[in-house]
Amino acid sequence: MSELRRDPVSGDWIIVAPERAGRPKWFSVKKPKRQPSPKKTCPFEDLQKSGNWPPILSYPNEKNWEVILIPNKYPALSHLKSQSESIAPWPHFVKTGVGSHDLLLVREHDKGFADISLGRAVDAFLLLQKRYKMLALQKEMVYTSTFFNWGAGAGASIYHPHFQVLTLPIIPPDIASSLKGSMRYFRKYKRCVHCDMLKFDIKEKKRVIEKNSSAIAITPFVSREPFEVRIFPRRHLPYFEQTSLPALKSIIATLQSSLRRIKKYLNDPDFNFFIHTAPLKDHRYSYYHWHIEVLPKIGVGMPGGFELSTGVEINVVDPRLAAAVLKGKG
């Protein structure tokens, strides 16, 4: 039977309606194997030749880099040092598009993030942490959104694996909603809403994909999309950039393992994953719990008229079944 489920953080409703899809065997349909694009046409193979130089950060160094952070040549926001505001004709409001838009690259051209070594993946996230701390020193920077698009169906225009790191002078609406919902729950119960949801998932054992002492991967009870996965630090941590190296290593290992499960059991779909964390430099968000969200693009449950007209998502895969499939038991 279908269920209406309400997210305790955002307060938004979704509908879980598995009967709309029937027995979900569509993900096992064979498709052509993913093929890397030619290295000779990749703008990230020779950064100086393609005009993507100099870098902002690199590891271990600029000459022999394995992970590197560069400015986006086509930024969504201007790389400027000052911020200004202007008033548009009533009732509109306009703020100058000042911010930062960077790209973080790993050396490997022909491997997805799931397949690079754990060491390389950790190096990438350590460079991200360093960049977050740098951005926090800039007055105009408020929130950093880091995301990874894999495949054309997820919005990736270049095959070479890379993160986009976009820093805004505002708190984005979805983040603001999550922060407000987390604060409401904390004020009412004196506990973290995400910690309580994880306790519920661990007790039920139906939506946990895997866990260790420092990290856990789940298919959320209120999943907006089929096979949505979230990876949390087990310890309550509001800020991604303040996560210790041992905990970060466990979280990234769990992320990579989850991506390999998606690749294996869902026939290597395109996907997005992104970091949800508290805003930069403002340390009043101790009630928040940072995490990583993974959204596979499996070709079902696409938004239609109902979703677009109401804001209520319909998920055609029960999160319990999603967890079972990703554990090889579906």
Task: Give the model confidence (pLDDT) of 139-186 as tens digits.
Answer: 889 999 999 999 999 999 999 999 999 999 999 999 999 999 999 999
256: CB partners within 8 A, 6+ apart: 113, 114, 118, 121
Residue 29: its pLDDT value, please? 59
Residue 310: its pLDDT value, please? 87
Residue 22 has pLDDT above 90, yes or no: no
For residues 33-44, average pLDDT = 93
Residue 208: its pLDDT value, please? 98
Whether residue 143 contacts residue 82, with contact meaning beta carbons closer than 8 Å, is answered with no
**How confident is residue 25, by pLDDT bands cut at 50, 70 and 90?**
low
Whether residue 300 contacts residue 171, with contact meaning beta carbons closer than 8 Å, is answered with no
Q: Where are the beta strands (DSSP E) in the chain?
A: 3-6, 13-16, 57-59, 67-71, 85-86, 94-95, 100-106, 143-150, 162-168, 208-211, 215-218, 229-233, 270-276, 291-297, 313-315
Percentage with pLDDT > 90 across the chain: 81
Residue 1: its pLDDT value, please? 76
Nearest CA to 258 among 288, 295, 233, 223?
295
Least confident of 11-25, 163-177, 273-287: 11-25
**How confident is residue 13, by pLDDT bands cut at 50, 70 and 90?**
very high
For residues 269-278, average pLDDT = 97
Residue 91 has pLDDT above 90, yes or no: no
How long, in residues, is the chain?
A: 330
**Tokens 């290992």 -> residue:** 253
Tokens standing for residue 282: 């403002």
Q: What positions carry a catalytic annotation?
A: 162
What's the CA angle centered on 302, arms 325 and 30, to 5 degrees?
50
Residue 140: its pLDDT value, please? 86
For residues 30-51, average pLDDT = 92
What's the CA angle centered on 18, arms 22 and 324, to 5 degrees?
90
Compute, in degrees rounded to 10, the torsion defined by CA atoms 187, 190, 194, 199. -150
For residue 52, give Cα distances in angstroms to 9, 72, 101, 255: 40, 8, 13, 29
Q: How many domains does the chain have?
A: 1
Q: How distant is the alpha carbon of residue 329 from its chain centre?
A: 26
Residue 83 has pLDDT above 70, yes or no: no
Query: Which ranges constitute the DSSP H helices of 118-172?
Result: 118-136
- Among positive and negative, which fits the CA dihedral 36, 42, 44, 46? positive
Residue 26: its pLDDT value, please? 52
Top-confidence residue, 66 or 79: 66
d(CA 132, CA 279): 10
Least confident of 12-16, 57-61, 181-185, 280-284: 280-284
Mean pLDDT over each residue of the chain, to the nearest integer: 92
Residue type, position 155, single letter: G
The CATH number of the domain where 237 resides is what? 3.30.428.10
Tokens standing for residue 95: 């703020």
d(CA 137, CA 330): 48
Exposed/middle/buried for 77, CB within 10 Å: 0-12, 13-18, 19+? middle
Q: Is the pTM value of this prediction over 0.85?
A: yes
What's the CA angle centered on 27, arms 212 and 269, to 5 degrees?
70
Domain holding 312, by residue range, is 3-326
Exposed/middle/buried for 163, CB within 10 Å: 0-12, 13-18, 19+? buried
Residue 302 has pLDDT above 90, yes or no: no
Residue 28: its pLDDT value, please? 56
Residue type, position 197, single letter: M
